[in-house]
Structure 1
Amino acid sequence: MAVPTPPAAQHDRGLPAPPAGLKAWLTSPAPASRTQARLGRFYRGWRGFVRNPAAMAGFVIVLLLLVVAASADLIATHSPTVAGDLRTERLLPPGGEFWLGTDDQARDIWSRIVHGSRVTLVVVLLVSVISMPVGLAVGTVSGYAGGVVDAVLMRITDIFLAFPRLVLALAFVAALGPGIENAIIAIAITAWPPYARLARAEALQLRGADFIAAAKLQGASPLRIVAVHIVPMCMPSVIVRVTLDMAGVILIAAGLGFLGLGAQPPQPEWGAMVASGRRFLIDQWWVAAMPGAAIFIVSLGFNLLGDGLRDVLDPKAAER
């Protein structure tokens, strides 16, 4: 009958000793597989993230935004677009049946803010999905290729960076026409240059690394080197920048809505709600203040979340 080898003997033979628990397995200094190494890195990052109160506050705000947007039909008390009785329900203060009051069309402000969170979330997600890959591709190709390719791509990037983002977005929306779809396209067109600059800086540092030279010796093509080796190394910094820029995207979208170039009535959009309530700011302050507070809280949440992700994903920032 074979006698099982004790853990100490396994360790002496060079075999990995069994972990004492999941935490020990995740925090092992010598991971036995790539999966263990990745999960351990995620676990250590999450522990550092949780210890940051500001980051957790931002995470909770963003999580609440997702929950509110997903369950808007359940938690909204009234229709966001159908007007109420203009004789008795117009410009009512917060309280009672209407938690945050009503606007000049006798519509429930709480319900409009709740459904407007969907518009805000769609704008943020679509702008990120469109602009991040474009900026990442331009920056990594420019930084790795260098020479004429780098000069041409960066001069195009400089042209976009020379204009304020809101002004450039206004120009594109004016050309494309008002509407939430055109506003998303306009914001995405103006959002990619900072990501390209950041990715280029990372690629310039990586293209002379030993693992890039080893990939070249193995016959990897430039496209494969950029896609497989350089892009994943640039992702953490770009993700942090995207998260921080989400607050700016929300403000630009609200600015376009405020000017009547974003979501069109009667679609609930926070910027348009502020614009419609500015006429009643003195006496019926809640009409503009409530959607304005929603813009402020969500923007603050994304900023706090981005700061926390920077501390976790960017070791150089954490060292400073």
Structure 2
Amino acid sequence: MSAPFSREWLLSDAPESRRQAAWGQRYQAWLAFRRNGLAMAGLAVVLLLLAMALLAPWLATHDPGAQNLGVRLAPPSATHWLGTDELGRDLWSRLVFGARITLGMVVAVVLLVAPLGLIVGCAAGYAGGMVDRLLMRVTDVFLAFPRLVLALAFVAALKPGVESAVIAIALTAWPPYARLARAETLTVRNADFIAAVRLTGASATRTVLRHVAPVAVPSLVVRVTLDMSSFILTAAGLGFLGLGAQPPLPEWGTMIATSRRFILEQWWVPLIPGIAIFLASLAFNLLGDGLRDVLDPKQR
């Protein structure tokens, strides 16, 4: 008998338990994902960015808020690896601390929109009738406006800041997830296993949470991963327009906004946070494409 979690145990054609079958399926999905070189590159960059955000206090070579006008707009050197900005602040240190703010905003948005979209979509698809029409018309209202324009309106109604930007992005980003969850729910609402669950006397809430919602989760994971690049760009856009993170916070979009007038002479000052935004967006797109190939059965 193969040892648990060995390769033979995971790839067994005749699993002896549900636990072995579940882990075997996960391992086969990982093997399929690993064959995608671009997806692995995206995963590596995402993990690198997350590590940079978590280890920012140890990776930073200077205080990100410390000003030194004597070295303002200095080019990259051994002392300041990526140069300094218009106030003499070290760009490398601000970049790594900015990863905390930018990626933290993205994670906060995902934690808000994914559960909200899943609950709304599953409830609409499972209940049907008036509930479905009401929830979908509300969804249509939010979908009728461009996301950035609606986010700008929400931030203007609140006040500029990180919290307001997260709330604004979340309020504009949940409708596609509700649509997706509703479509997945409609495909299984009349399935035999759902009918069997109803016959056992399970309530509608338990049926949706325990048996319908898990069916929609893989599609939502793929959509969330693909949309993270959009969240990063929206957060950076709000920061660039002065409605997101406020100076002196080292958020990447804000860093570009405060240094855009130096783009011709001291080009490295706005370019460095721009490259960070580009790499983060590209990495999440590559990761999302790889997850879609693995988790979406229509792609197989």
Separation in 1 of the partners of 2:198 and 2:98?
50
Q: Which runs of 5+ in 2 are unaligned?
A: none
Choose the corresponding residue for 1:58, options 29, 38, 42.
42
In structure 1, stretches of 5+ residues that fail to align are 1-17
**Aligned Cα root-mean-square deviation (Å):** 1.0
- Paired residues in the alignment total 299
SS at match of 1:177: coil
Question: 2:254 is matched with which residue: 244, 252, 272?
Answer: 272
What is the 5 A alignment of 1:1-320?
A: 18-19=1-2, 22-84=6-68, 86=69, 88-317=70-299, 319=300
Q: Deviations over 1:75-120 (max 9, x none)?
A: 1111111111x1x301111122111111111111111011000001
**Distance change (3 Å), C-alpha of 1:28 and 1:104:** same
TM-superposed deviation, 1:20: 7.5
C-alpha distance in 2 between matches for 1:162 and 1:269? 29
- In 1: Cα distance, 2:47 partner to 2:37 partner: 15
* Alpha-carbon offset, residue 19 of structure 1: 2.9
Between Structure 1 and Structure 2, whose CA radius of gyration is higher?
1
Q: Distance in 2 between matches of 1:50 and 1:82?
A: 43
What percent of counterpart residues are identical? 62
Inter-partner Cα distance in structure 2 for 1:24 and 1:252: 45
TM-score, with length taken from structure 1: 0.92
Runs (4 or more) in structure 1 with deviation over 4 Å come to none
Could you list the per-position Cα deviations for residues 45-90 of structure 1 after superposition, in whole angstroms to 9, with x for gaps in the alignment? 1111111001101100110011101111111111111111x1x301
| Aligned-partner Cα distance in 1 for 2:71–2:89 | 8
Give the distance between the partners of 2:17 and 2:214, measured in 1 at CA: 19
Secondary structure of the 1:102 match is coil
Of residues 94-103 and 172-181 in structure 1, the stretch that sits farther from structure 2 once superposed is 94-103
With normalisation by structure 2, the TM-score equals 0.98
Give, as a single letter, the amino acid of the residue that structure 2 aligns with 1:19.
Answer: S
Q: For the residues of structure 1 that align with 2:8 and 2:190, how far apart are their CA atoms? A: 36
